[in-house]
Amino acid sequence: MDFWPEFLANSWGREFVAGGFGGTAGIIAGYPLDTLRIRQQSTAEGTAAQIFRRLVAAEGPFSLYRGMAAPLASVTFQGSRHQHLLLLVHYDFPSAVQAQQFYLLQKPPPELIPQPPQVLEHPSPPSSQALNAIAFQTYAILSRAVDGHCSSSNDPPSYTGVSLGGFGTGAIQSLVLSPVELVKIRLQLLRSPMGPRDVARSILRAEGFRGLYRGLTITVLRDAPAHGVYFSTYEYTREWLHPGCRKGGCESYGTMLLAGGLAGVASWICCYPLDVVKTRLQAQSRSCERYGGIVDCFRKSVREEGYHVLWRGLGTAVLRAFIVNGAIFTAYETALRCFFRANDNPATI
């Protein structure tokens, strides 16, 4: 009964919930473009504008949001690379200090500095938030485990540590996100309305548990380097725009937004051909397999449609990256400011 007030009184809890709001806003804002990207990658249906007009005319505007429940269910873990950025802002620093400095621009009182989480005699937070903690801790641990230059816990990891930490985090999170993206892609390409559970059950009946992990290898090959590029680009860009911010955490909101947008673009460009192959592999079912694997899909796609097919939909993905970043940061900042104001006025909680 008293779990949520106690959870939100803790800076760790507030950041988790704010991250959930940010991730949700990012998915809702960018999902129509994601649907257009998937359709561009899977078949030669035309430009994004042509697909948009045809899809809305034939199936209505809500068809652009078909399958959105699947990524929303894992929103605080995923955020499609961008959600990790929200936690990256605070990684390995006293999170309440960082948040107060950024959002309130003043030195926080000692009582706001978080202590190590204690075991509470209350229900656990939602599983998606627990997954968020796993992803965050995985990145924090890996980025420091491979970096021998951190003399103290307040020193940021080197760029090598950031890249390798992101690489490992992307590979590990693929184990959770691969089935989610498989269901999402199937729903986005369906012509008839179905829910995520219906699609998941049909895959299990037809292909077994292994069918839910169709495309896992290509997902790992895509996400591992993409996360490495994303984190390193973000860290380098924000330090370049605001020297010293990696250690002091005093960058502006505009700096974080621009760095996040550029990082998203860089990560998409480096992995986009793999993303096209992944979409095509996950779009097919065992009953109508067209491609025998990653190499076969690559060869057939290039032979039939040319090398440009590997970049089809990139413009849509890049536009979506900036829109998602803007939505995530706006919602995250707004939620966190509300939580800190509520913390300053406990009677409003």
**Where are the chain's structural domains?**
3-114+162-348
Q: Is the dihedral of CA 90, 94, 95, 99 positive or negative?
A: negative
The pLDDT, as a whole number, for residue 253 is 75
The pLDDT, as a whole number, for residue 85 is 41
The pLDDT, as a whole number, for residue 347 is 47
From the list 280, 260, 271, 251, the residue with the least C-alpha distance to 321 is: 260
Helical spans, DSSP H, in 210-252:
216-241, 245-248
10-residue mean pLDDT profile of the chain (349 residues): values are 60 69 85 94 87 92 89 60 40 32 37 39 35 60 73 74 89 90 91 84 92 94 93 88 79 79 89 96 88 95 94 93 80 74 55
CATH 1.10.287.610, domain 3-114+162-348, yes or no: no
Structure token pair of residue 157: 């990891």
The pLDDT, as a whole number, for residue 154 is 66
Report the alpha-carbon distance of residue 25 to residue 336 in Å, rounded: 14
The pLDDT, as a whole number, for residue 216 is 96
The pLDDT, as a whole number, for residue 80 is 37
The pLDDT, as a whole number, for residue 185 is 93
Residue 108 · residue 48 · CB < 8 Å: no
Q: Is the dihedral of CA 264, 81, 239, 266 positive or negative?
A: negative
The pTM for the full model equals 0.76
Report the alpha-carbon distance of residue 159 to residue 50 in Å, rounded: 42
C-beta atoms surrounding 224 within 10 Å: 20
C-beta atoms surrounding 197 within 10 Å: 11
Structure token pair of residue 322: 């900036």
Report the alpha-carbon distance of residue 197 to residue 155 in Å, rounded: 45
Which amino acid is residue 190, in one-letter code? L
Helical spans, DSSP H, in the chain:
3-8, 11-42, 48-59, 69-73, 82-88, 95-103, 127-145, 159-189, 196-207, 216-241, 245-248, 253-283, 294-305, 314-344
